[in-house]
Amino acid sequence: DIQMTQSPSSLSASVGDRVTITCQASQDISNYLNWYQQKPGKAPKLLIYDASNLETGVPSRFSGSGSGTDFTFTISSLQPEDIATYYCQQYDNPTWTFGQGTKVEIK
């Protein structure tokens, strides 16, 4: 089974800061990597699919990059409404695995 290592587990940043989260797969997953945002008490929301594609309606301050085993999720300018936990997700037919999550807080 492919393992996903997401880091950091939590971070604190100021409004306007650039925030970066990484996700590493235990083996090559091409670009089969998605990113989700989950606010407290809410369902996850798809932000980025296939490593770098922005889901319709998602603000352009969110972006993703990477391929193979190493992936990066970036918030270019952190906003108060971005307080949430972010998860990467990989697809390795026929199973899906999520990263451990990164809780983003405002400093």
Partner 1 sequence: EVQLVESGGGLVQPGGSLRLSCAASGFTFSSYSMNWVRQAPGKGLEWVSYISSSSSTIYYADSVKGRFTISRDNAKNSLYLQMNSLRDEDTAVYYCARDASYYTRGNAFDIWGQGTMVTVSS
> Using an 8 Å Cβ cutoff, are 37 and 48 in contact?
no
Nearer to partner 1, 19 or 102 (CB): 102
Q: How far is the CB of 14 from partner 1 (least distance, A)?
A: 26
- Whether the CA torsion 99, 70, 48, 34 is positive or negative: it is negative
From candidates 50, 70, 105, 106, binder to partner 1 by CB under 8 A:
50
Check: CB of residue 7 under 8 Å from CB of residue 102.
yes
3-class SS of residue 66: strand
Query: By CB under 8 A, how many residues form the interface with partner 1?
Result: 29
- Residue with Cβ nearer partner 1 (17 or 98): 98
CB 96 within 8 A of CB 85: no
Q: Does 51 bind partner 1 (CB under 8 A)?
A: yes
Residue 40's identity, in one-letter code, is P
Selected from 45, 61, 63, 68, the binder of partner 1 by CB under 8 A is: 45
Instruction: Give the residues lining the site for partner 1 (CB under 8 A).
Output: 30-34, 36, 38, 42-46, 49-51, 53, 55, 87, 89-91, 94-101
